[in-house]
Structure 1
Amino acid sequence: MGILDVLSQFSGGNHPEGMLEAVTTMLNDPRIGGLQGLVTKFQQGGMSGVIATWVGTGQNQPISPDQLQSVLGNEHLQQIASQLGLNPQEVAGHLAQLLPQVVDKLTPDGTIPQDGGGLGGMLGGLFGRS
């Protein structure tokens, strides 16, 4: 499945406009380090089991907005919130629904692509970001 196929599955969802682009921006953020960096952040935040289900081929384990906020930190959520005109709690709620699906679709064979962080760059290129 190609990147465009992944993105098309999320368009028109019940998330605010720009939410998927915000996820892409987050994956491109050098402080996150791409998809591999996101996985590492979850592991360091005590959420190894959760992120492993998103990357793996089985059912995705849910994450609460509070757990997501704990892993990502307020700075990332505040940045996304200000871009979208939402509050950080709303962003955490939307990300808690969207991020497991995006990670799952970006790792269809249950492994992180060899480029690790380049995937975020590929997604960003679709939105005119580098």
Structure 2
Amino acid sequence: MAGNDLGSLLGGLLGGSGQSGAAGAPGAGNILGALLGALSGGGSGAAGGNPLGGLLDMLTKAGLAEQKDSWVGTGENQSVTGAQIQHALPDDALKQVADEAGITTDQAATQIAENLPRAVDKLTPEGRMPAGSLEDLIRAQNL
């Protein structure tokens, strides 16, 4: 699935259109869709057709397991910073996201940090990673 299609699905899941937000900033769905598209197409460890699992593995390896677990779990979501996201993601994937969104890598990392906890929380409603592809998972949320 293309990043734009995934962005539209994620935008719907997050309560937005996935289109640009205020002042031309990319919508949450678009930025996360671009990220997951970059990870699935870039050979960055997102195996099995589910780039979300690969992304969560990257966060764990970068020392963000506690935050990631809070998003997947049923408790309160812990926050992350743009700097933590920059450390966790491959430089090429973050650059691709920033280029697609027409923003800097710092801005892309900040937007990912702001939106990723809520997206993962919504994609894991039972407190665990469900089986199936990311697209099937988003569609199962009645989008």
Report the TM-score when normalising by structure 2.
0.71
Structure 1 57/10 Cα, relative in aligned 2: closer, same or farther at 3 Å? farther
State the aligned residue count.
Answer: 120
- Taking only aligned residues, the RMSD between alpha carbons, in angstroms, comes to 2.7
Q: What corresponds to 2:65 in structure 1?
A: 48
Please identify, of 46-55 and 32-41, the stretch whose mean Cα deviation from structure 2 is larger: 32-41
Asked if 2 retains the 8 angstrom alpha-carbon contact of 1:113 and 1:119, the reply is no
Structure 2: give runs of 5+ residues left out of the alignment. Answer: 1-8, 139-143
Superposition misfits of 4+ residues, deviation over 6 angstroms: none
Asked if structure 1 preserves the Cα contact closer than 8 Å seen for 2:10 and 2:33, the reply is: no
Counterparts in 2 of 1:78 and 1:19: CA distance versus 1, 3 Å: farther
Alignment gaps of 5+ in structure 1 = 124-130
Which residue matches 2:25?
Answer: 16
Question: Using a 3 Å threshold, how does the CA distance of structure 1 residues 53 and 6 change in structure 2: closer, same or farther?
Answer: farther
Matches within 5 A, 1:1-130: 7=13, 9-11=15-17, 16-28=25-37, 29-30=39-40, 31-33=44-46, 34-115=51-132, 118-120=133-135
Residue type at the aligned position of 2:13:
L
Secondary structure of 1:79's match?
Answer: helix
Partner amino acid for 2:90? G
Structure 2 counterpart of 1:119, which letter?
A: L
Conserved? CA contact 1:19–1:84, under 8 Å: no
Identity, % of aligned pairs? 31
Q: TM-score, normalised by structure 1?
A: 0.77
C-alpha spacing 1:18/1:5, structure 2 compared with 1 (3 Å): closer
Change (3 A) 1:63 1:4: closer
Question: Alpha carbons of 1:89 and 1:64: their partners in 2 closer, same or farther (altered >3 Å)?
Answer: same
